[in-house]
Amino acid sequence: MVIEPLAHFHGGLVLRHHKQNSCEQPLQNAGIPDELIIALRSNKGHSAEPVVKTGEQVFKGQVIAYPAHPYGAVFHAPTSGTIKDIRTHPTAGPDASPTNCIIIQTDGNDQWLSKDNADSPQSRHDIINTIREAGIIGLGGAGFPTHIKYDHQSLTQATTLIINGAECEPYISCDERLMLDEPEAIIRGTQWLMKAAEADHGIIAIEDNIGGVKSQLDQHINALGISNIGVTRVPTIYPTGGEKQLIKVLTGKEVPSGQTPLSLGIIMQNVATAKAVCDAIEHRRPLLERVVTVTGDSVSKPGNYTALIGTPFSHLLKLAGCRDDIDKLVVGGPMMGYAMPHDQIGVEKTTNCLLALPATATKPEIPAMPCIRCGDCVKVCPQELLPQQLLWYINGNDQNNDLEKAREHHVFDCIECGACSWVCPSHIRLVDFYRYAKSELTYLDIKRAKAQHAKARHEERDARIARIKAERQAKRRQKTARLTDKKTAQQEISAVLARIKQQTADKTDD
């Protein structure tokens, strides 16, 4: 099955990819570091609660944390060792935001707890549950728990599964190398995900400049006799790998604002996620490792490494021959990545690249100048937003009102690709403003929800007090009525007795 691109999304950039050096060598095993730093966070901060204690011995594959939120994920010990500490530690997120981490002192034995030898799941619900228990999340983006896309699936329309292998960020080549080295696992994982989605067909989307990958995938699809999965090449334009942009290119359809691809009958997963699903179902391996690209001008041996979750960045940089001239360490690519304060941070499930750059390879910090309303940012925005207008609202004097106007102009549709910042002649870091606006609006929404909840509780309390007061008043009225009735009855009895007494006295006188 071949599906050719039907459309092109608005805007985008053509960038130098810098991927050849890191993609030349096959995947390399990063081995077992002395220590693992496992951040118990996924999908925009939703965390998991530890189920182990400091000093406890753990084994490979053992559950060490369960999610505290429906959008959290299960975490397993990537290898055997001892729980050295459970504490707050910097992570690979924006600003290296600290979160609860489990520190494992590895023992080098890599001893499994046990492996479930049960038969492979057959029903879609069994597949979804296996994915959930394996702790699998989206390995190419925000880390959304994989099973939720299928739990919330509406089966009223035919579903298409898209496997995203369009790695549009410069320098990042982990998915390309994974497709070259593990094509069969990716295809088999795609089949399992299609069963979970009850999808009619699947599409593996790759960029049109990696022909070797297509031939590898096609060869294995034909060897397995699969007719409902096809490989489609898409234009190498940044950010084609974005979820909404790739859907537009493949189908010509646009995901409505505020909705998910499921509204179009589409589910999208990363190629690494498909491979992880194959490992979980066919080999009973939870998500314990991921492929990380280690590259940059400060690295002498760039490559792609299969690293255990929690592997310190310093361990990977050493394997890649990182030199002392490193000036900036970025997690992710140069467009959407985050600079790290140091290398004593652990690989997370969503960590796809470590970019080590010397001072000569980084853009100097040029002070931002006023917006000149040139419109270049509008031309490249893949979401067809008005970046300069959003900046105007976010920088307004009446902060709350202007932020609400930014919401009305769809600031939450911004995918933070950085294309607008890249072309801005005034060197304005536009994406930082949009991130700020979204976080502030989310905070205001939480405050508003809490205020409404408090108001509702207050109104319920007032209604409860009024009800209790009314009930007490009713009881007092009933008691008063009973007392009044009793007094009246006693008076009537006394009157009758008085008449009888008087009649008896009158007879005696006669």
Classify residue 358 as exposed, middle or buried by CB count within 10 Å of its CB (0-12, 13-18, 19+): middle
Among residues 90, 26, 23, 38, the alpha carbon closest in space to that of 308 is found at 38
Reduce the secondary structure of 443-488 to three states and give it as a string.
Answer: HHHHHHHHHHHHHHHHHHHHHHHHHHHHHHHHHHHHHHHHHHHHHH
Distance CA 326, CA 410 (A): 38
Distance CA 275, CA 207 (A): 19
Asked whether residue 381 is marked as a ligand-binding residue, the answer is: yes
* CA distances from residue 81 to 31, 52, 113, 135, 311 in whole angstroms, order as listed: 14, 12, 11, 20, 14
Q: Which two tokens stand for residue 435?
A: 């991130």
**Residues 232/2, Cβ–Cβ less than 8 Å:** yes
What is the length of the chain? 510
* CA distances from residue 247 to 164, 169, 279, 350 in whole angstroms, order as listed: 10, 17, 27, 22
- Long-range pairs for 385-393: beta carbons < 8 A, 24 or more residues apart: 385/409, 385/410, 385/411, 385/413, 385/414, 387/420, 387/430, 387/434, 390/414, 390/430, 390/433, 390/434, 390/437, 391/428, 391/430, 391/433
Distance CA 216, CA 414 (A): 35
DSSP for residue 324:
T
**Residues 397/29, Cβ–Cβ less than 8 Å:** no
Distance CA 272, CA 189 (A): 9
Asked whether residue 168 is marked as a ligand-binding residue, the answer is: no
Q: Which two tokens stand for residue 505?
A: 């006295």
Q: Evaluate the omega torsion of the peptide bond into residue 239 and state whether it is cis, within 30 degrees of 0.
A: yes
Distance CA 432, CA 390 (A): 12
* CA distances from residue 103 to 30, 56, 62, 198 in whole angstroms, order as listed: 18, 11, 14, 40
Asked whether residue 101 is marked as a ligand-binding residue, the answer is: no
Asked whether residue 417 is marked as a ligand-binding residue, the answer is: yes
3-class SS at 262? helix
Angle at 401 between CA 369 and CA 372, to 5 degrees: 20
Sheet bearing 303-308, strands edge to edge: 28-29, 303-308, 289-295, 353-358, 326-331, 338-340
Distance CA 134, CA 76 (A): 8
3-class SS at 95? helix
Which residues line the annotated binding site? 371, 374, 377, 381, 414, 417, 420, 424
Binding residue ranges for [4Fe-4S] cluster: 371, 374, 377, 381, 414, 417, 420, 424
